[in-house]
A and B are shown apart, each in its own frame.
Chain A
Amino acid sequence: MANYLGIDVGSITTKMIVINERDEVLAEVYLRNNGRPLEAIQQGLESISSRLDGETSIDGAATTGSARHLAAYLVGADLVKNEITAHSIAVIDLFPEAKTVFEIGGQDSKVIVLREGVVVDFAMNTVCAAGTGSFLDQQAARLGISIEEFGRLALKAKQPVRVAGRCTVFAETDMIHKQQIGHSIEDIVGGLCDSLVKNYLNNVCRGKEILSPIVFQGGVAANQGIRKALEKELETPLIVPEHFGLMGAMGAAKLVKRAKPFRTLFKGFELSRKSCSTRGFECSECENQCEVVELLVDREVVACWGDLCEKYRKSSGPMIG
């Protein structure tokens, strides 16, 4: 049976999933990038291959997420897809009746409006990353608790305090103030969840018709505090998929499964043992002054991008859509 690999490289984490023709999940990986996406992708490949049966072949690979192009050149992807479409494909397949998708990741938050299994509208956060995973991480670290504990503490809040959720900088100032006047950590964490949810609903979801059933996914869906605050605010239960953190990767895998590449461009799991690096230079041939990036595998340039005129490109590259 044919198997398909979906890779989602976001701003904070890398997610990979392998599914077979019957959409069964054979293996999955979720790891932090720690600011080094190339290494994270290599690590991801290594750990996902260790979870697969040695016989498993990959018949198609697709990438998504904000580093989708980098990932595609590195692993040899048959398909590159933007994360909005990838996320919605996964939802439509699993929950055909869903009308709204909330997706909150490391630095992005999105809302996708579905009607009768078709995406009709979407929005992404713009200049502000308040309420996304990296902000929650930061605040948890500042309070000296793990992000897992953060969610549990929020559930214990008795009198959630009011925190300015409009802006991460103000939210932090506000929280420090609340601590200093003596509110309990549970109430502060609970209050933070409430205000971030209000910020998300008022900014990202502004003007969008939010109808139930609502699917909530992305890394932040693991946070019970945020989840409960969303349910309270919208007065409706949310559906959190089993693989809530991997939905982008799953969407990518499903897309490449549909595309059924005749012969995959995937370079294989051995890539994790090769030396991979990138280097950049600024081309000065015209006023565009493009920042050109070269990808090196075992010291050989295998791909090049960033040049608007495409003069440095060697390979034809993956299908971009």
Chain B
Amino acid sequence: MEEKGRIGIPRALMFYRYFPLWKVFFEELGWRVIVSDGLGKRGKIIYFEDSCLPMKLLVTHSIGLKDKVDHLFVPRLVSLHRDYIMCPKFRGAPDIVRLATEGTVSILDETVDLRTREHSMLRSFLKTGKRLGADEKEGKRAFQKAEQFFLNFQKGWEDRINQLPLKQVFHLETPALPKSEEKPFQVAFIGHPYNLFDTDVNKDILSFARSLGMRIITPDGLSEKEIGAQVSDLSKEIYWSSGREIVGSLFHFLSGRVDGVVFLTSFKCGIDALLQEFIRRRLKLKGGTSIPLLVLSLDEHSGREGLTTRLEAFRDVMEESTH
């Protein structure tokens, strides 16, 4: 099929979960997908207003892409859950990019709000498709293909993050490998996907964890029911879906089956700051945990030493407690 043009996807925010879906959708409609490059070690973050690190990264990646593409894809993700909402910054993300790029690039910014029928994932993508000149039938077919691909991709997720170099987990053409050898520790890594899987932000801490003999488990594989079970008895509901997922999966994993739980938080994230306090109080109420828990805070420090020291010590703690 003839190439209709180029769609740029910034390597930021929910890219780290939905990229396979997005990419296949656009390709099915005959567009070429261009992803922004990693920042590299010397990467300069563009400081746009006083925002949190993930938003700064969104702006940096968008600016890096804007001259290479016909449209930037920055969906307005209001809610990715039937009942709960995303951090309010996601709602403003396309506007932030529009301001930062000073209107020099077209932005595909259809709303996704799974609390309403009108803004379902399918509807949102149909609207995006329409803007790109596809009719409803073409859009539907592309979305179904994309969704199918995404579900398959998720099934191979754990193998990907445990075997591929972390920079390559979103190289869709690289196949997921068969199950690897046994690792001495099963460790759940919890946090926002754009903290867990962005190697620029986390200094590739997951690779380091693997080299210390940890098999990485993430909340991606948990069902809504498993997450809900741990947060249903709270006195006040957590209304951010990411917060619910983090707290729910954290307590799910702390109730057994893993050797340790690591919570990656980012320094300037309001949700994370509240969640940490919340988790502390809840743990106190429960009389602590028998499974070791480590809270690692990510900031814009260039050094890796602080993270690796803590992770090494954490490995020693797990070793002691499994003996």
Query: Interface of A with B (CB < 8 Å)?
Result: 66, 81-85, 118-122, 124, 126-127, 206-207, 209, 282, 287-291, 308, 321
**In the complex the two chains form, what is the Cα distance from A282 to B167 in whole Å?**
20
User: If the complex has contacts A118-B320, A207-B280, are A66 and B305 also in contact, measured as CB distance less than 8 A?
Assistant: yes
Residues of B within 8 A of A84 (CB): 309-310, 312-313, 316
Query: A288 to B41, Cβ gap below 8 A?
Result: yes
Minimum CB–CB distance for B65 against chain A, Å: 16
The 4 closest A-B CB pairs, nearest first, are: A84-B313, A82-B312, A207-B280, A85-B316
Chain B residues whose C-beta falls within 8 Å of the C-beta of A207 in the assembled complex: 280, 283-284
Cβ contact within 8 Å between A120 and B313: no
Does B297 count as interface, using CB distance less than 8 angstroms?
Answer: yes
The total of chain B residues at the interface (CB under 8 A) is 26
Most A-side CB within 10 Å, residue of B37, B38, B316, B321: B316
Residues from chain A with Cβ under 8 Å of B313 in the complex: 82, 84-85, 119, 122
Which B-chain residue is minimally distant from A67 (CB atoms)?
B305
Distance to closest chain A CB from B111 (angstroms) = 34
Report yes or no: B41 in contact with A66, Cβ–Cβ below 8 A.
no
* Chain A hits for B309, CB < 8 A: 66, 82-84, 124
B40 contacts chain A at the CB level, 8 A cutoff: yes
Report the separation of the CA atoms of residues A14 and B297 in the bound assembly, to the nearest whole angstrom.
Answer: 27
Contact call B38/A287, Cβ cutoff below 8 A: yes
In the complex, what's the smallest C-beta–C-beta distance from B202 to chain A, in angstroms?
14
What 11 new A-B contacts, CB under 8 Å, besides A84-B313, A206-B280?
Answer: A82-B312, A82-B313, A84-B310, A118-B320, A120-B321, A124-B306, A207-B280, A287-B37, A288-B40, A288-B41, A289-B41
Q: Show 30 residue pairs from A and B whose CB-CB distance is below 8 angstroms, ordered by the A residue.
A: A66-B305, A83-B309, A84-B309, A84-B310, A118-B320, A118-B321, A119-B317, A119-B320, A120-B320, A120-B321, A121-B292, A121-B317, A122-B317, A124-B309, A126-B299, A127-B267, A127-B297, A127-B299, A127-B301, A207-B280, A207-B283, A207-B284, A282-B42, A287-B37, A287-B38, A288-B40, A289-B40, A289-B41, A308-B204, A321-B312
- Residues from chain B with a CB closer than 8 A to the CB of A121 are 292-293, 317
Cβ–Cβ < 8 Å partners of B88 in chain A: none
* Any A CB within 8 A of the CB of B92: no
Chain B residues 282-296 with CB under 8 Å of chain A are 283-284, 288, 292-293
Are A126 and B297 neighbours in the complex by a CB distance under 8 Å?
yes
- What is the CB-to-nearest-CB distance from B269 to chain A, in angstroms, rounded to a whole number? 14
For B204, the chain A residues whose CB sits under 8 A away are: 308
Nearest A-chain residue to B295, judged by Cβ: A123
B205 to chain A, nearest CB (A): 13
Which residues of chain B are near A83, meaning CB under 8 Å?
309
- Identify the closest chain B residue to A206 (Cβ): B280
In the complex, what distance in Å separates the CA atom of A121 from the CA atom of B267?
21
Q: Which residues of B contact A124 (CB under 8 A)?
A: 306, 309-310
CB distance from B277 to the nearest CB of A (A): 9
Q: Which residues of A contact B37 (CB under 8 A)?
A: 287
A209–B288 touching, CB < 8 Å: yes
CA distance A124 to B38 in the complex (A): 30
Question: Which residues of chain B are near A291, meaning CB under 8 Å?
Answer: 41
Expressed in whole angstroms, the Cα–Cα distance for A320 and B1 within the complex equals 53
Shortest C-beta distance, B262 to chain A (Å), equals 13
Q: Do A289 and B42 contact each other (CB < 8 Å), given the known contacts A85-B312, A121-B292, A126-B297?
A: yes
User: CA A84 – CA B294 in complex, angstroms?
Assistant: 13
* A82: chain B residues within 8 A (beta carbon): 309, 312-313, 316
Bound Cα distance from A122 to B297, whole angstroms: 14
**CA of A207 to CA of B283, assembled, Å:** 9
Name the CB-closest residue of B to A309: B165
Hey, which chain B residues are within 8 Å of A119, CB to CB?
Answer: 313, 316-317, 320
Interchain CB contact under 8 A, A120 and B317: yes
Given A127-B267, A206-B280, also A290-B317 (CB < 8 A): no
Complex Cα gap A82–B309 (Å): 6
Residues of A within 8 A of B280 (CB): 206-207
Cβ of A126: which chain B residues have Cβ within 8 Å of it? 267, 297, 299, 306
A164 to chain B, nearest CB (A): 21
Q: Are B40 and A287 in contact (CB under 8 A)?
A: yes
Give A160 Cβ to nearest chain B Cβ, in Å.
30
CA distance A290 to B37 in the complex (A): 16
Measured CB to CB, the nearest residue on chain A to B305 is A66
Complex Cα distance, B292 from A83, in Å, reads 18
Bound-state Cα–Cα, A207 to B147, Å: 43
A110 to chain B, nearest CB (A): 9
Report Cα–Cα, A209/B284, bound state, in Å: 9
A182 to B284 Cα, complex, angstroms = 44
Residue among A206, A288, A290 with the most chain B CB within 10 A?
Answer: A288
Q: Which residues of A contact B306 (CB under 8 A)?
A: 124, 126
Q: Which residues of B contact A66 (CB under 8 A)?
A: 305, 309
**Chain B 1-41 interface residues, beta-carbon cutoff 8 Å to A:** 37-38, 40-41
